[in-house]
Amino acid sequence: MAINFDTALGIEPKLLTFREKRGEILAANLANADTPNFKARDLDFKSVLKQSVVSAVSMERTQPGHITPQQQLFGANVMYRNPNQVSLDGNTVEPHIEQARYAENAVQYQASLHFIGDDFAGLMTAIRGQ
């Protein structure tokens, strides 16, 4: 019987890709902390989770006047962040918040790697029969 890695690993590989792209966006926010009028962005985890679960209802744009869907990157909505304190130059990056979110994302990335490693260890145990 063939092993289907999509079902064996579940959603973790997709989450790993999401965490990688989110790390890139958060790093870009930090790199542009002093750029006038730069708008901080982030990825929406809920949109990734919704896309991975099969939905019975699908929406599409049928008329030119309808609202267009949000920009997506790897199935996640790219959203702009509202700052707690507005900058005079129009920049919405708050370095202390970006650093905290970057660190949080790094921990979640490591956790996803650990979960995938555990999944592969379980598959190896099943293959060896030990």
Q: Closest Cα partner for 91 from 53, 26, 34?
A: 34
What integer is the mean pLDDT of 71-78? Answer: 61
> Residue 127 has what pLDDT?
84
Q: Is the pLDDT of residue 80 over 90?
A: no
Does residue 31 sit within a domain? yes
- Domain span including residue 100: 12-54+69-128
Is 4 inside any structural domain?
A: no
42-to-10, 11, 36, 99 alpha-carbon distances in Å: 24, 20, 18, 13
For 119, other C-beta atoms within 10 Å of its C-beta total: 16
Q: What is the mean pLDDT of the chain?
A: 81
Report how far Cα 123 is from the mean position of its chain's Cα atoms.
26
Least confident of 23-32, 39-48, 55-64: 55-64
Total domains present in the chain: 1
- Confirm whether 1 is domain-assigned: no
pLDDT of 126: 83
What integer is the mean pLDDT of 13-34?
91
pLDDT number for residue 108: 93
Q: In Å, what is the CA distance from 126 to each residue of 28, 121, 129, 130? A: 42, 9, 5, 7
Instruction: Report the greatest alpha carbon distance in the chain.
Output: 64
- Supply the pLDDT for residue 55: 45
* 94, 38 Cβ separation under 8 angstroms: no
pLDDT digits (tens, 9 = 90+) for 86-100: 788 989 999 999 999
First to last CA, the chain: 18
